[in-house]
Amino acid sequence: MDSKANATRLHKWMRKVPHWLCTVLCLMAILYLTLMPDPLGDEDLPLFPGADKIVHALMFFGLTLCMLFDAMRARGWRKLSLPAVSLISLVGMGVGIGIEYLQDAMGLGRGKEFLDMVADAFGAIAAGALWLLIGGSLTLTEDELKMRDGNLKGSAEIHEK
């Protein structure tokens, strides 16, 4: 089976999943990990100095990729423009910065750290940059869009009869 057939099957399967699901699941995980006083319990993971900054960057890299992926799906697998990618990356940065202020305001033993905000912003910007480089490979071509839209119209006509 070729990769184009696999991609078509993936697009059909993904049509059944709400276009916001990836973003919501990722955001829920991030909120749990960043706002709970001790999200990993008694686990004492041996980490090197600054490892938490890498974790912050990876979390917001992932969140921003989820938002970009979901936005592309919501647009019918069409390529996202530079302004759209930039805006979504800014939203990812804003979520990270907002969480830092929320940690401070909640008073549960977690506080805002400037370097965490920098790491969050770096992760979101890196995801946007990567998306601009390879995100187009996930889109459907015009022929694939026409075929998909034609198949959808055809299947709708069958269900109406």
Give domain status of residue 14, yes or no.
no
Give domain status of residue 79, yes or no.
yes
Mean pLDDT of the chain: 82
Range of the domain at 97: 21-36+48-160
> What was the pLDDT predicted at 12?
73
Q: How many domains does the chain have?
A: 1
Give domain status of residue 42, yes or no.
no
- Nearest to residue 84, comparing CAs of 101, 67, 98, 99? 67
23: pLDDT strictly greater than 50: yes
6: pLDDT strictly greater than 80: no
The percentage of residues in the chain with a pLDDT greater than 70, rounded to a whole number, is 75
To the nearest 10°, report the CA torsion of 78, 81, 64, 48. Answer: 120
